[in-house]
Copies of this chain bind each other. A is one copy, B any other.
């Protein structure tokens, strides 16, 4: 369903929590309590976010996590990629080949373009947007420049 994993969802919620109070370090237990999720799970999520550079961690007592950049400089793409790896709709949208069906596929190029469009869209959503409760303004119109389709281009024959 083109869905985010639960962990990614948690990550977004957690990041938003931190973003709303960016000046102090937040511990896993504190965040777990706020977000009402089990401590180990929140801990795991935080570790992933830290490892990919979105959070900075301080160990020891009085430790915790802080944003490594301003909320306006952290995108939805960043968060998703931190938990799920590179964003792409299809197997072949990032890997460099190894699909084996490329010749009989015929849609790879276009899927990759769609992937790219989604990635760009997600790049435009920042943590600052997510953290604020007031609605984002998104373009509900014309996300695709409707190509008056060329009906038949040379290469579309098969076998």
Contacts and interface: CB of A to CB of B under 8 A. Distances in A.
Contacts of A136: 110, 113-114, 144, 147
Contact of A124 (B88, B129, B144): B144
Q: Chain copies in the assembly?
A: 2
A36 to B, nearest CB: 5
Contact of A118 (B2, B131, B135): B2
Given A13-B107, A121-B117, A1 B87 contact: yes
B145 A137 contact: yes
Interface in A1-53: 1-4, 6, 9, 12-13, 16-17, 20-21, 34-37
Nearest to A126: B149
A141 B134 CA distance: 24
Q: What is the interface of chain A mostly: helix, strand, loop, or mixed?
A: loop
Contacts of A20: 106, 156-158
B35 A104 contact: yes
Interface in A107-159: 107, 109-111, 113-114, 116-118, 120-122, 124-126, 128-147, 149-150, 152-153, 155-159
Closest 3 CB pairs of A and B: A124-B144, A121-B143, A133-B155
